[in-house]
Chain A
Amino acid sequence: MKLWEFTGHELLEKLAHQEITQEEILCALDKRREEVEPKVKAFVRIEKAPAPLDSPGPGAGFPGLPIAIKDNICIKNRPATCASRILEGFKPPYDATVIQKLKNAGFSIYGQTNMDEFAFGSSCENSCYFPTRNPWNLECVPGGSSGGSAAAVACGEAIWALGSDTGGSIRQPASFCGVVGLKPTYGRVSRYGLIAFASSLDQIGPFTRDIEDCSVLLKVIAGHDPKDSTSANLPVPDFLLSLGKDIKGIKIAVPKEYFSLSENMALEGITQEVNQAIGEAIEQLKKLGAKVQEVSLPHTEYAVSVYYILATAEASSNLARFDGVQYGLRAGAGSAEGADNLIQMYKRTRQAGFGSEAKRRIMLGTYVLSHGYYEAYYLRALKVRALIANDFANVFKDFDCIITPTSPTPAFKLGEKIQNPLAMYLSDIYTISINLAGLPALSIPCGFSSGGLPIGLQIIARSFDEEMLFRVAHCYEAHTSWHKMRPKI
């Protein structure tokens, strides 16, 4: 086994026993990257020689272990572009809280990964740089928006990575690339320094190759932060204690609507292969002692509509700050100042700086917030959001977790949905309700399609009960070997 094939916790153990050195790990990753990066294109930027460490504190538990970061998380004095031209030249003058925490724990920040512009997309094709490709099949997308982070971890260019999830942007690419991806409970991880897409939905979370790494990484990045007023002032449990437990008597709900959406949603629907893989996973969990029962989440069919109203409304407001004044691109012709007047400068800067999907979402968000439409769309969507959150609350009165597919299909082909925004939006159908309800959820590999593409199982728990996610997922992982499969690339 080569060094890049090991998980983070395995490498830590080897470091602790002095079987390997930090330099050997970096060297192995560099070599692996040279082999596969030209094909996969997961990174938008690589730190040439990741500084071994500024000064690891005495308690630094992760001496120099490299980690890849999605390009919408601020790292002091390094570019952060959100894969958008409008942030050209921007270098954040501060570290995001998660970056500060990683540095304090001894991690070295390795490189920044590709994404859909401002996290707008489900395929990593809406990047101003280039599309990233799926390591399992280079004709297919890695998912999105955190496609670069997912692909890098899947093919061994990174041991682990951070992404962000607003409507599935960690879980869907994790599912497409056959790795573990976690969206923590809203408020579990500070959003300070995450360039905002939709502030009431965004969360930062880890990509890893197994559940132990996922729990280790969440422990590092989680916790209350006075700089993010929505971060929860709750203790962070020792998630490792949730591992290795059995799941006898754990009550698991399976929402029937998730398997019959096609009639209502003008959607191709769930593929037979995904259906079968999820069915087998459910059987496995039953064998391990879980009690599985079908339930109803009656407002499921409204989730995509609610999401695309609220997320675009928030985005149109958050992205108003990109106007050519404080940072990034300024475009325009005419006078030495770039444009004849301020409004013209704004408009030209935003025309030149934003890609097509960003413009479309800003337009939709502006429309639903505009005079005469606010009540019909935005306010109504907030109310249906309450109904959706309530559906989950009802199920969690009687159940410990909910199980669904992460995505209705395995990875689709590059170009397949890029011309049809609505079809792209519908591919997030199983993940967006969870953000609307603020719940924690993870995706774990649970099988493969006949074409050799990974399939992901989504596990959802009560707010701030990531321990339940880890307990169930670790038990499943211990009795299956999907997470050990690696793409041949």
Chain B
Amino acid sequence: MLSKNDVARVAHLARIDLTEDELKLFARQLESIVQFIDKLKELDVSSIRPASHTPALKNVLRPDTIKDSLSKEAVLENAPKSLKGHFLVPKVIE
């Protein structure tokens, strides 16, 4: 059973502030979704190798050469806040 506290813990991990109403709603909805996906526990998968991708890709390598990329200006243009060529964020270190 998913409690409101469980949902709050996950919300913290996901870095989302949820309102009291959202916590209640998600506790109920996630509970029913989790019950549904629990269906996978019917299967014995002990001898199966996991498939994270379907194509038979090996490592894709390329030479490590220096190429032009986007300019700093073009990238920072999208930043909500920037200063002197850097992203500006609230203070991290006290």
Contact = CB atoms under 8 A, between A and B. Distances in A.
Nearest to B78: A327
A394 to B, nearest CB: 15
Interface in A317-361: 320, 323-330, 332, 335, 337-348, 350-351, 354, 356, 359-360
Nearest to A330: B80
Contacts of B41: 376, 380
Given A360-B26, A386-B49, A380 B55 contact: no
A438 B54 contact: yes
A348 B53 contact: no
A370 B52 contact: no
Given A325-B87, A384-B43, A385-B51, A363 B14 contact: yes
Contacts of B14: 316, 350, 362-363, 366
Nearest to B52: A382
Interface of A is mostly: helix
A230 B55 contact: yes
B1 interface: no
A305 B36 contact: yes
A281 interface: no
A233 to B, nearest CB: 9
B33 A377 contact: no
A350 B16 contact: yes
A174 B55 CA distance: 26
Given A359-B18, A422-B33, A337 B78 contact: no
A422 B36 contact: yes
Contacts of A262: none
Contacts of B70: 93-94
Contacts of A381: 37, 40
A337 B88 CA distance: 8
Interface on chain B toward A: helix, strand, loop, or mixed SS?
loop
Interface in A288-334: 299, 301-302, 304-306, 308-309, 316, 320, 323-330, 332
A343 B33 CA distance: 28
Contact of B78 (A326, A360, A463): A326
A337 B90 contact: yes
Given A341-B91, A347-B15, A421-B29, A305 B45 contact: no
Contact of B45 (A232, A348, A384): A384
B84 interface: no
Chain A interface size band reads 35 or more
B50 interface: yes
Interface size range of chain B in the complex: 35 or more
Given A93-B74, A230-B57, A366-B10, A345 B90 contact: yes
Contact of B16 (A339, A362, A364): A362
Contact of A382 (B30, B32, B50): B50
Interface in A444-460: none
Nearest to A437: B54
A433 to B, nearest CB: 11
Contacts of A356: 22
B90 A338 contact: yes
B90 A335 contact: yes
Contacts of A363: 7, 10-11, 14, 16, 26, 30
Contacts of A463: 54-55
A378 B64 CA distance: 33
Contacts of A332: 90
Contact of B50 (A93, A360, A383): A383
B89 interface: yes
10 contacts: A229-B60, A305-B38, A326-B87, A327-B80, A339-B90, A341-B90, A367-B30, A382-B52, A422-B33, A422-B36
Of all A-B residue pairs in the complex, the 8 with the closest CB atoms, nearest first, are A438-B54, A382-B50, A330-B80, A386-B51, A327-B78, A351-B17, A383-B45, A229-B60
Interface of A: 89-91, 93-94, 186-187, 200, 226, 229-230, 232, 299, 301-302, 304-306, 308-309, 316, 320, 323-330, 332, 335, 337-348, 350-351, 354, 356, 359-360, 362-364, 366-368, 370, 376-377, 379-387, 389, 421-422, 425, 436-438, 463
Given A327-B79, A350-B16, 7 more contacts: A305-B37, A306-B40, A359-B26, A363-B7, A379-B50, A437-B54, A463-B55
